[in-house]
Structure 1
Amino acid sequence: MEGKNIQTATIGGGCFWCTEAVFQEVKGVKTVISGYSGGTVPGKPTYREICSGLTGHAEVIQLTFDANVVSFEEILIMFMATHDPTTLNRQGADVGTQYRSVIFYHTEEQRTIAEAVLQQMADYYEEPIVTEVTALEPFYEAEAEHQDYYRSNPQQGYCSYVITPKLTKLRQLFGEKLK
């Protein structure tokens, strides 16, 4: 395992606070940035605009990771296991296209891996997987108050009710892969 093999992934599985908190715990993940991608409105959108559902953007995270420590495939398996990829444009009480399940691939290799993971994971769900697999569109970093949200606000209601159980599930399923 010589040197580092730093790669980038961009995924969305509902509220970016949840997805960010999950991947901040994974060994080999170097950075996790909450943001927006996949919209039709030009220019950098704001959180308020995203929440309207009118821009077409999804709440996503963009992470860098050392593929010598954790593979893109492993990241996608963790992603699929820590959100519901069978609900179209929603995660729990969060409803709208901004909360869709999406994998924005950076390379053709990532596209191939993403499609294979979705096929492999299909048997684990009673309903069909609706996760989009699409080429990366411009990524816009979210406002500062949305970065490190769970770490900064673990006692906030949404965090304790929605994110903490996701992290518990993550530890149960992937404990050896966590920091």
Structure 2
Amino acid sequence: MGKLKKIGLGGGCHWCTEGVFVSLIGVERVEQGWISSVAPNDAFSEAVIVHYDPDRISAVSLLDVHLRTHAAIKVHGLRHKYRSAVYYFDVSDRAQLTDLLILAGNEFAEPIITRVLPFVAFKPSLPEHRDYYRTDPGRPFCVRFIAPKLDFLRGYRGGVVR
């Protein structure tokens, strides 16, 4: 295993986001909670921090999965709670993530609303909400929202899902 990197991802419910990313080969750990950035995005919004091995899964793959498993092109009334964003921890990653997001956006019929933002702070979810999918994938929420995303990824991305 190489040196782990981390990236913050927000866009939908953190239960769904965690369930998707913890299932990817190359992702070693996912922290579920809320992330804040700089103004005007300084309010905490549901998100995860993904710790991944770049030798096993690329930032390109992570962004692709992120954009395809939440409403990355949809403006809706809950964006204050579900900000569509990619958070960088190292300013040297900003340009690469921005370029990757632009390239990935070319594959969508409508413009994506996902933004590249600096990570400022994190508040973890309560322990009973963490690892929501893996602790009981038969929960109605998991069956309705998370399992279909994983099924989609198995068909779309093949070997990235455990």
Q: When the two structures are superposed, what TM-score results if normalisation uses the length of structure 2?
A: 0.88
Structure 1: stretches of 5+ with no match in the other structure: 41-54
For the 8 Å contact 2:33–2:122, the answer to whether it is kept is yes
Task: State the partner residue of 1:169.
Answer: 152
SS of equivalent residue, structure 2 residue 103: helix
Structure 2: stretches of 5+ with no match in the other structure: none
Give CA deviations for 1:97-155 in whole Å, capped at 9, x if unaligned.
Answer: 11121111112342122212221122322221111211111112111122111122322
1:152 aligns with 2:129: no
Distance in 2 of aligned mates of 1:66 and 1:89: 33
Distance in 2 of aligned mates of 1:111 and 1:73: 13
For the 8 Å contact 2:37–2:119, the answer to whether it is kept is no
Count of residues in Structure 1 that have an aligned counterpart in Structure 2: 159
Task: State the partner residue of 2:71.
Answer: 84
For the 8 Å contact 1:34–1:61, the answer to whether it is kept is yes
Q: When the two structures are superposed, what TM-score results if normalisation uses the length of structure 1?
A: 0.81
Larger radius of gyration: 1
Deviation (angstroms), 1:37: 0.9
For the 8 Å contact 2:6–2:49, the answer to whether it is kept is yes
Q: Please, which moves more after superposition, 80-89 or 127-136?
A: 80-89
TM-align CA RMSD: 1.9
**Runs of 4+ more than 3 Å apart:** none
Deviation (angstroms), 1:81: 1.6
